[in-house]
Amino acid sequence: MSMSTTVPSFQELILRLHAFWARQGCVILQPYDVEMGAGTFHPATTLRALGPKPWAAAYVQPSRRPSDGRYGENPNRLQHYYQYQVIMKPSPADAQALLLESYREIGLDPLLHDFRFVEDDWESPTLGAWGLGWEVWCDGMEVGQFTYFQQVGGIATDLPSFEMTYGLERLAMYVQNVERVYDLDFNGRGVKYGDVFLRAEQEYSAHNFERADTVMLMRHFEDAERECASLLAGDKQLALPAYDQCIKASHLFNLLDARGVISVTERASYIGRVRTLAKACCEAWLAGER
Amino acid sequence: MAEFFLELFSEEIPARMQAKAAEDLARLLGEALADLQPRGFQTFTTPRRLAIAVQVQAAVEARSSSERGPRANAPEQALAGFLRKHGADRADLREEAGFWVLDRVSPAIAAPTLIAEALPALLRRFPWPKSMRWGGTSLFTWVRPLRRIVCLFDGQVVPFSLHDGDDDGHGLVASNLTEGHRFLAPGAFAVASLADWQAGLRGRRVIVDVAERRQLVAEGVAAVAAAAGFTVVDDPGLVDEVTGLVEWPVPLLGKIDDRFMDLPAEVMQVSMRVNQRYFALRTADGKAAPAFAFIANVPGTDGGAAIIAGNERVLSARFADARHFWDLDRKATLESRVAALDAITFHAKLGSQGERVRRIASLASTVAGLVGADAAHAARAATLAKADLTTGMVGEFPELQGVMGRYYAAHDGEAAAVADAVQAHYLPKGPSDPVPQGRVAIAVALADKLDTLAGFFGIGEKPSGSGDPYALRRAALGIIRIIREHGLRLSLRAMIAAAGQGADVEELLGFLLERLRVQLRTEGARHDVLNAVLGAGLDDDLVRLLARSDAVAGLLGTEDGANLLAAYRRAANILRIEEKKDGPHDGAVDAGLLQAAEEQALAAALDGVAPQVSAALGDEDFAVAMSHMARLRAPLDAFFEAIQVNAEDAALRQNRLRLLARVRTVMNDVADFSKIDG
């Protein structure tokens, strides 16, 4: 086991995780090119978790949570941030050990620090998915989420996957001992996280809360919903293109929610509509896998 | 006897499930190994293991028994049925005294054989609240992946596997190998007995005994706190949880940055407890201390400095979030938040929180008049009572509802009584919780609970058996405690009627009185006294009911009371029998027909006592009513001693029955004495 003692920059941290998980046999993917709320939505996780074929992948996924925008003023809340996502199907017997080794790679020694697995049942109502696992704590801070997938798209998994999500900014802040996300060392050569993302946080916060055209967003939601259904209709189901529309619908819902135009009762109904799409996509995907 | 030992070594078991799992394991093993006469169960749990040791017999001894079957000449079907039932052949039978007899011999079973057969099934149906699949295709589930099984009988491995047909059972096979602390002593090692396992793990930095670990946690945090001059805020639930999160407890102390010390103490404590499992500390003068205690699972190669620094940073980030909510929330007044309650659903059939708040405000001002509270304050407090549900802080920490409302109301310059009531109207939240003290808080607390009860009764959502999803029993008990502890004089009927919402007044009153009865029973009240006082549901004033019940119980405790009751019962029995013939006999007593001195004395006593009892009842002085009533005892005893009630003369008989009926009436005005056990 190799433990790197130098403090990694933000990008170095990603590179080390890539190198580590590549050594474990994971396919290193690039981010998916549709806006989404979490790395779990990537088809490499949601769809690949289903069916009998083994699969292992790792990737960075930009994650958008429109209502977490703080105009760049909050030290640790962002409407756009990065998740590092690992999925291994079937779950390996040494998943916990692998994970701890990955923390050593980025400079966190479990004999110097206090690592803990604290109960956390994961559930995504929009994906109709759930699993059991833990939050991974380092010195009282959540540095990752570890889940054994039991169900996705309302369908029990054939082979339970191990899914690990690292919140990269939070992890980097911890490793670099930085209080404010914008002060993170991005590249080890003077570029800070704020140099890259501060203006985006300011502009997107204004977009998410003030400017986004809600009538248009609602129309787009309905378009995506209709398109998803149409791609799944008939004999030739196109599971992957249909699933893109499902992810789009989910993100449009998040934007509408941030704009405050969705009431409590409507909320549940929107989530139910996205879940229906996700379920249909998962079923279509599975039909093609078996 | 020999030692049986089982350890189920897994990935981290949620803390809250460990104790129940140990109980379940002991119970299920007790059943499965009953034939081995198991004794002296000892269970152990840590985050990664569930273990049990028990003394058992080395074997189930061979047993033989004889089963008598049908008569030798019985029809063929009877014999076939008997053979089928016992899985026997005709050749196994012998004939004895005209009957078929089956001799059955169960051979001796060695304990390991029985254990190896019983365990796979026991583990497959182990009742975890939620269990999961992992790895390959095996359908064997556990709370988290099960990694090793140690199973020993008298030091030897009891071999069994979880393999089941096509299912590989994750390849799990019983062995004598376990593992020490995940970080401090990784790797497998062999164990030969419970004692060996305990000692081996202690050496490998695992304390397996829950009580010992719990003590290390509690004393550890107390010691690090004391070293800094602080005391720990008592929190047994947190001690339990933390005990289930570590195998090797290391107590540490962290500092809280001064810039957060102006946050409300409740906010700091909840944030530390809920998010971080930290122990809140107090200074010598009872204030929030600028430090927290916590338990790590490793000592840290630098003596814990990095662990402390990390935890301090995490807590600073948590408090920064709390500060954000605290500052932001105070920018808007509670009053300005009330409108937003219209958008929050309370219950699909009972409307929004906004509608609920308007009902409670109206009811609170009515109740205020009855409990001596300022009606305007009560209505104001009720209006603001739920507004903190829309604040960021309560959104983050729901357990701070009410607490934040009070802080924000005070910040807005609301009257102190109003601010207090915003918090205290939730009281009492449980049996050990105090009731609200201020008059305004009392009014709002009663209105809140009555509105809840009336609302759910109105839509037919009543508690049934163990099901009480809306905690209506707790609300009812809350009302009862508030009324009792403050001696409030209220007509429950009128209050329920004022709460409206279509609730059946008598039904809801009955529910409240039933809760009162249950409560008084647990306090040791006689059930027959409660029946006598509560039975008819005539009185809806709890204070009066309680005084009456105390007085009746007091009377029955005296010799006069016991004798009076015997005489009452005699009178009531006679009346019951005679009234069946030609009753009722409740007309006025004819003084002219009173012949014997004893009759005259009883009538005179009644004439004297009846108005006095009635007056005392009017004054609600039940003790005085009882003492007057007790004066009937002597004349009544004398009456029964000397007088034949069923006289030959019909007029005399009727007059005497009327005299007894009058005794019954006077006494029943106090309580239904027919319900009292003799």
Q: Are residues A102 and A168 in the same domain?
A: yes
pLDDT at A2: 46
The model's pLDDT over A84-94, given as tens digits with 9 standing for 90+, comes to: 999 999 999 99
Q: B492-499 vs B505-522: helix axis angle to the nearest 10?
A: 130
Say which range, A15-19, B71-75, B436-440, has the weakest mean pLDDT.
B71-75
Q: Are residues A59 and A170 in the same domain?
A: yes
pLDDT confidence tier of residue B555, bands split at 50, 70 and 90 = confident
Please judge whether A139 and B314 are an interchain contact, meaning their C-beta atoms are less than 8 angstroms apart. yes
| Chain B residues with at least one Cβ partner in A under 8 Å | 11-12, 14-16, 47, 130, 132-137, 143-145, 147, 183-184, 245-246, 276, 278, 294, 296-298, 300-302, 306-307, 309-311, 313-317, 320, 324, 343-345
Residue B517 confidence (pLDDT) above 60? yes
pLDDT at A1: 42
Give the closest-approach CA distance of B9 to chain A in angstroms. Answer: 13
Give the closest-approach CA distance of A229 to chain B in angstroms. Answer: 31
pLDDT at B34: 94
Domains, chain B, in order of start with CATH, read 2-59+111-203 (3.30.70), 64-106 (no CATH), 210-313 (no CATH), 335-524 (1.10.3210), 554-675 (1.10.730.10)
What contacts B110, CB < 8 A, 6 or more positions away?
B58, B59
- Select from A160, A184, A206 the last residue of a domain: A206
> Average pLDDT of B217-241?
97
> Which residue, among A134, A131, A130, has the nearest Cα to A120 in the 3D structure?
A134
Give the closest-approach CA distance of B295 to chain A in angstroms. Answer: 10
Please judge whether B147 and A93 are an interchain contact, meaning their C-beta atoms are less than 8 angstroms apart. yes
Task: For residue A257, give the CATH number of its domain.
Answer: 1.20.58.180
The answer to whether residue A136 is domain-embedded is yes
Give the closest-approach CA distance of A90 to chain B in angstroms. Answer: 5
Angle at B374 between CA B369 and CA B375, to 5 degrees: 60
Say which range, A239-243, B436-440, B445-449, B637-641, has the weakest mean pLDDT.
B637-641
* Residue of A264 and B282 predicted with greater confidence: B282
Q: Are residues A124 and A201 in the same domain?
A: yes
Q: Which of residues 151-180 of A touch B (CB under 8 A)?
A: 157-160, 174, 177, 179
pLDDT at B68: 86
Q: Are residues A184 and A216 in the same domain?
A: no
- What is the C-alpha separation between B18 and B81, in angstroms, rounded? 48
Residue B652 confidence (pLDDT) above 90? no
Residue A118 confidence (pLDDT) above 80? yes
Please judge whether A76 and B317 are an interchain contact, meaning their C-beta atoms are less than 8 angstroms apart. yes
Element (H, E) at B307: helix B305-329
> Average pLDDT of A74-89?
93
- What is the C-alpha separation between A142 and B318, in angstroms, rounded? 12
pLDDT confidence tier of residue A264, bands split at 50, 70 and 90 = low
- Select from A187, A206, A225 the last residue of a domain: A206
Element (H, E) at B595: none
Mean confidence (pLDDT) of chain B: 91
- Select from A169, A189, A206 the last residue of a domain: A206
Q: Are residues A26 and A53 in the same domain?
A: yes
The answer to whether residue A5 is domain-embedded is no
Q: Are B18 and B45 in contact (CB under 8 A)?
A: yes
> Average pLDDT of A172-176?
93
Please judge whether A140 and B137 are an interchain contact, meaning their C-beta atoms are less than 8 angstroms apart. no
Nearest to A114 among B297, B343, B345 (CB): B297
> Average pLDDT of A157-182?
94
The conformation of residue B548, written as its DSSP 8-state character, comes to: H
Residue B675 confidence (pLDDT) above 80? yes
pLDDT at B564: 81
* ipTM > 0.90, yes or no: yes
- Domain count for chain A: 2
Establish if A90 touches chain B: CB-CB under 8 angstroms.
Answer: yes
pLDDT at B549: 86
Q: Are residues A147 and A85 in the same domain?
A: yes
Establish if A265 touches chain B: CB-CB under 8 angstroms.
Answer: yes
Q: Are residues A125 and A92 in the same domain?
A: yes
Please judge whether A119 and B14 are an interchain contact, meaning their C-beta atoms are less than 8 angstroms apart. yes
Q: Are A179 and A226 in contact (CB under 8 A)?
A: no
> Average pLDDT of B338-343?
89
**Radius of gyration for chain A, computed over Cα atoms and rounded to the nearest angstrom:** 19
Please judge whether A263 and B343 are an interchain contact, meaning their C-beta atoms are less than 8 angstroms apart. yes
Please judge whether A117 and B306 are an interchain contact, meaning their C-beta atoms are less than 8 angstroms apart. no
The answer to whether residue A232 is domain-embedded is yes
The model's pLDDT over B584-596, given as tens digits with 9 standing for 90+, comes to: 888 888 888 888 8
Residue B408 confidence (pLDDT) above 70? yes
Residues of A within 8 A of B294 (CB-CB) are 140
What contacts B411, CB < 8 A, 6 or more positions away?
B330
Q: Tokens for B463, please give them.
A: 């508690």
The answer to whether residue A4 is domain-embedded is no
Please judge whether B311 and A140 are an interchain contact, meaning their C-beta atoms are less than 8 angstroms apart. yes
Residue of chain A nearest B304, judged by CA positions: A112
> Average pLDDT of B244-259?
97
Q: Pick from A50, A91, A98, A139 the residue to mutate for testing the B interface (most B CBs within 10 Å).
A: A139
Q: Are residues A194 and A220 in the same domain?
A: no
> Average pLDDT of B46-70?
92
Please judge whether B310 and A140 are an interchain contact, meaning their C-beta atoms are less than 8 angstroms apart. yes
pLDDT at B282: 96
The answer to whether residue A197 is domain-embedded is yes
Please judge whether B294 and A117 are an interchain contact, meaning their C-beta atoms are less than 8 angstroms apart. no
Residue A4 confidence (pLDDT) above 70? no
Say which range, A24-33, A63-72, A210-219, B602-611, has the weakest mean pLDDT.
B602-611
Residue of chain B nearest A148, judged by CA positions: B134
pLDDT at B536: 58
Phi, then psi, of A245 in degrees rounded to 5: -65, -35
Q: Are residues A181 and A225 in the same domain?
A: no
pLDDT at A5: 62
**For chains A and B, what is the number of CB pairs under 8 angstroms?**
106
Residue of chain B nearest A181, judged by CA positions: B317
Give the closest-approach CA distance of B345 to chain A in angstroms. Answer: 8
pLDDT > 70: what percent of chain A? 98
The model's pLDDT over A133-149, given as tens digits with 9 standing for 90+, comes to: 999 999 999 999 999 99
**pTM confidence score:** 0.80
Q: Are residues A224 and A196 in the same domain?
A: no
Q: Are B134 and A160 in contact (CB under 8 A)?
A: yes
- What is the C-alpha separation between B557 and B658, in angstroms, rounded? 29
Handedness of CA A176, A179, A181, A185 (dihedral sign): negative
The answer to whether residue A171 is domain-embedded is yes
Angle at B652 between CA B648 and CA B657, to 5 degrees: 105
Establish if A1 touches chain B: CB-CB under 8 angstroms.
Answer: no
Please judge whether A113 and B307 are an interchain contact, meaning their C-beta atoms are less than 8 angstroms apart. yes
Residue B571 confidence (pLDDT) above 90? no
Structural domain of A19:
10-206
pLDDT at B449: 95
Give the closest-approach CA distance of A43 to chain B in angstroms. Answer: 21
The answer to whether residue A59 is domain-embedded is yes
Task: For residue A16, give the CATH number of its domain.
Answer: 3.30.930.10
The answer to whether residue A3 is domain-embedded is no
Please judge whether A139 and B311 are an interchain contact, meaning their C-beta atoms are less than 8 angstroms apart. yes
Q: Are B452 and B475 in contact (CB under 8 A)?
A: yes
Residue of chain B nearest A101, judged by CA positions: B183
Locate the DSSP E strands across B188-278.
Answer: 188-190, 231-232, 250-255
What contacts A148, CB < 8 A, 6 or more positions away?
A91, A131, A132, A133, A160, A161, A162, A163, B132, B133, B134, B144, B145
Q: Are residues A201 and A253 in the same domain?
A: no
> Average pLDDT of A44-63?
97
Cα of first residue to Cα of last residue in chain A, in angstroms, is 38
Q: Are B333 and B274 in contact (CB under 8 A)?
A: no
> What's the residue count for chain A?
290
The model's pLDDT over B191-210, given as tens digits with 9 standing for 90+, comes to: 999 999 999 999 999 999 99
Q: Are residues A93 and A195 in the same domain?
A: yes
